[in-house]
Structure 1
Amino acid sequence: MSQEIEIGLGKKGRLGYALDDVAIVPSRRTRDPEDVSTSWQIDAYEFDVPVIGAPMDSVTSPATAIAMGKMGALGVLDLEGLWTRYEDPTPLLDEIAGLPADQATERIQQIYAEPVKPELITQRLHEIRAAGVTVAGALSPQRTQQFYSTVVDAGVDLFVIRGTVVSAEHVSSGQEPLNLKKFIYDLDVPVIVGGASNYTAALHLMRTGAAGVLVGFGGGAVSATRQTIGVQAPMATAIADVAEARRDYMDESGGRYVQVIADGGMGDSGSFVKALALGADAVMLGAPLARATEAPGKGTHWGSEARHQTLPRGSRTTVGTVGPLEQVLFGPSHQADGKTNFIGALKRAMASTGYVDVKNFQRCGMVVNPHSAR
């Protein structure tokens, strides 16, 4: 039962936990790390590791999406990013990476004012498909109706609708809202949608027919939603809530399983592992993959929130470079900082708790040790 705390006489707030506030408890049975499986599947698509590259220009380009795919992960291209606005965005990516911090956001707004070009959406997705990996692209809810037919015609395998908050019922007096349930029903490809940060919102998204639900709001390294609009969802509680919504939806739907995908705030391998233990089937990574040598951001990181023309809710930040993408995912690690060998860390945690697959790892024991109390 969730705990409510009295903020004042007229308002109560629910107690929520961040990933730093929880930890995994070893069990009486252990396994050999080499005996565990880290594979996961969404719809008909199988992957060796539960890692999704975030649709952010500092993380995923056509080249890095292909590299992730060949390593057994999934890269999602931002179809409203620089790769669909410019024929050759490389000079602009280099410029953004080199900007002084106090000038970065304004210049990002200027660069992203260039319109998205449908022909470039087609071209980029064809580049990824030609490499023989799973093709995934993301649009915001606001642009989905405008560009979805271009995306589907280009041969996307997984369609991602990603926003800071996505609801099954958006009410607007200014424009015709996206009817998610009808949209997903009419589409021939599986849809991942989010973000959701509580039980009710997630349950409604699952009822639309989505294949996966993204969990998270305002927790990423480049997000400033708490500072700008006062909204944030503690990730540990959000993941656990959405996983519970998934359990109830399975009962309601007669067994339909919706993938829960944690999105944002997993900056180190420990947080990545805990997100899976809390009930996520896969994790969408931003900053950790932005630290890879191949990352387009060249040691800097920014997201779609930074390019908003009137109220940016994120910024470009420096994350540094730690090594090749393969080292970030599979090691070896040479520092005990959780920035490399994410899959090795997952295997070790699964082995320590006695589980041999990610699905059963969600049953592991956890403790709460609030970060603020340490």
Structure 2
Amino acid sequence: MTEIEIGRGKRGRRAYTFDDIAIVPSRRTRDPEEVSTHWQIDAYRFDLPIVAAPMDSVMSPTSAIAMGNLGGLGVLDLEGLWTRYEDPAPLLAEIAGLEPAVATRRMQELYAEPIKPELIVERIKQIRDGGVTVAAALTPQRTQEFWKTVVDAGVDLFVIRGTTVSAEHVSGRAEPLNLKRFIYELDVPVIVGGCATYTAALHLMRTGAAGVLVGFGGGATHTTRDTLGIHAPMASAVADVAAARRDYMDESGGRYVHVIADGGLGRSGEIVKAIACGADAVMLGAALARASDAPGRGFHWGPEAHHPSVPRGTRAQVGTVGTLEEILYGPGRVADGTTNLIGALRRSMATTGYSDLKEFQRVEVVVSPYQPS
């Protein structure tokens, strides 16, 4: 990989965002109706390669059930308002109505309420009673405190999600979570991330995770690049982690770890290019927060927006473009890639001649930076 000289004392590798690349049609085309978008992780099979991000603006217990009924996977944030308050609906409405100047401070106050284990149990039961696959998320910092409550409540997939998650966290204050031991002893499959490099992903795969999240999540709401100077150009990050998956398969004798792109995926074209770069599925936040039936009421925010000491995210107004079903399946009413995400994915796969997602990962990609008109 060619490095670029930044200055006499520093060199850097050129990395690409989804806007920098495009896919190329091949010699074969197909009918979109004959394309499969099925995705399976561990024992759980889904009609769509879409995971709804664990964010209060995206997922409630009700919307997680709706997502499951539509063929995807909804992940509930177990550190959100739904496990801090018996009825968070008025608070979600309040957040949507806050003036920008006071939004961060007020959200910090609302999220200072302690997490209640009995509400974790209640929310998981509510989703399970809806008859769909139950997935819930904690940060690495909270996993040791609440994991047993989560597993005993009957979760199917356990998600450990943070801005950056490593297999080797060093702390002089407390014993950090030992991911490898934790995942080995757990009876449910674990999805863990984010990560953005080949090496970090390889270490996470060696912990026994069923899936790895690539990116920092919260692409539409993150200010991490502004506050911490950290950024992961997603096309390169997904391709790097896909290479780690390939090498880990050789190392482990064939164990397959799913790569899930997480962040910077607001429109259908970005979903298409994430899979083309090697992702098995995508985790969507802003794209689903635009649903008229989303909890955020046209606004979108992640846990970074209300961090008690170093907020590095914003509450963004994303508006509404249709129901959750219309965003996933259409019909599309606008031509900007925000509705009928699956229809666009199917058409792209059909136009390039591929019949399923694994085949589509082999599609030709070119560097072609997008120049908006």
Class of the TM-score when normalised by the shorter of the 2 chains? over 0.9
Correspondence for 2:162: 163
Deviation at 1:45, TM superposition (A): 0.2
Query: Matches of residues 332-371 of structure 1 in structure 2 within 5 Å?
Result: 332-371=331-370
C-alpha distance in 2, partners of 1:20/1:3? 20
C-alpha distance in 1, partners of 2:165/2:58? 22
Q: Deviation digits for residues 51-80 of structure 1, max 9, x if unmatched?
A: 000000000000000000000000000000
Correspondence for 2:285: 286
| 8 Å contact from structure 2 (residues 68, 133) kept in 1 | yes
User: Partner letter of residue 119 of structure 1?
Assistant: E
Query: Matches of residues 80-229 of structure 1 in structure 2 within 5 Å?
Result: 80-217=79-216, 220-229=219-228
C-alpha distance in 2, partners of 1:372/1:203? 34
C-alpha distance in 2, partners of 1:198/1:372? 27
User: Partner letter of residue 163 of structure 2?
Assistant: T
Q: Deviation digits for residues 109-133 of structure 1, max 9, x if unmatched?
A: 0000000000000000000000110
Correspondence for 1:266: 265
Deviation at 1:102, TM superposition (A): 1.4
C-alpha distance in 1, partners of 2:269/2:118? 41
C-alpha distance in 2, partners of 1:291/1:168? 34
C-alpha distance in 2, partners of 1:143/1:334? 41
User: Partner letter of residue 147 of structure 1?
Assistant: F
| 1:168/1:92 CA distance change after superposition, 3 Å | same
The RMSD of aligned alpha carbons is 1.1
Correspondence for 1:237: 236
Q: Which moved more, 1:112-121 or 1:216-225?
A: 216-225
C-alpha distance in 2, partners of 1:330/1:123? 30
Correspondence for 1:295: 294
| 8 Å contact from structure 1 (residues 38, 358) kept in 2 | yes
Deviation at 1:335, TM superposition (A): 1.3
User: Partner letter of residue 94 of structure 1?
Assistant: A
C-alpha distance in 1, partners of 2:197/2:25? 28
Correspondence for 1:312: 311
SS of alignment partner, residue 144 of structure 1? helix
User: Partner letter of residue 56 of structure 2?
Assistant: D
C-alpha distance in 1, partners of 2:108/2:213? 26
Deviation at 1:44, TM superposition (A): 0.2
C-alpha distance in 1, partners of 2:33/2:154? 36
| 8 Å contact from structure 2 (residues 194, 217) kept in 1 | no
Correspondence for 1:10: 9
Deviation at 1:319, TM superposition (A): 0.0
Deviation at 1:197, TM superposition (A): 0.2
Deviation at 1:371, TM superposition (A): 4.0
Deviation at 1:218, TM superposition (A): 6.2
SS of alignment partner, residue 87 of structure 1? coil
| 8 Å contact from structure 1 (residues 218, 231) kept in 2 | no
Q: Deviation digits for residues 296-348 of structure 1, max 9, x if unmatched?
A: 00000000101110000101010000110000000011211000000000000
C-alpha distance in 2, partners of 1:89/1:121? 14
| 8 Å contact from structure 1 (residues 218, 233) kept in 2 | no
Deviation at 1:3, TM superposition (A): 2.2
| 1:97/1:373 CA distance change after superposition, 3 Å | closer
SS of alignment partner, residue 45 of structure 2? strand
User: Partner letter of residue 322 of structure 2?
Assistant: G
User: Partner letter of residue 198 of structure 1?
Assistant: T
C-alpha distance in 2, partners of 1:148/1:241? 30
SS of alignment partner, residue 56 of structure 1? coil
SS of alignment partner, residue 271 of structure 2? helix
C-alpha distance in 2, partners of 1:218/1:184? 22
Deviation at 1:372, TM superposition (A): 7.2
SS of alignment partner, residue 334 of structure 2? coil
Identity %: 71
Structure 1 outlier segments of 4+, above 2 Å:
370-374
Structure 1's unaligned 5+ residue stretches are: none
Q: How many residues align?
A: 373
User: Partner letter of residue 25 of structure 1?
Assistant: V
SS of alignment partner, residue 284 of structure 1? strand
| 8 Å contact from structure 2 (residues 17, 236) kept in 1 | yes
TM-score by length of 2: 0.99
C-alpha distance in 1, partners of 2:46/2:217? 27
| 8 Å contact from structure 2 (residues 218, 302) kept in 1 | no
C-alpha distance in 2, partners of 1:307/1:186? 32
TM-score by length of 1: 0.98
Structure 2's unaligned 5+ residue stretches are: none
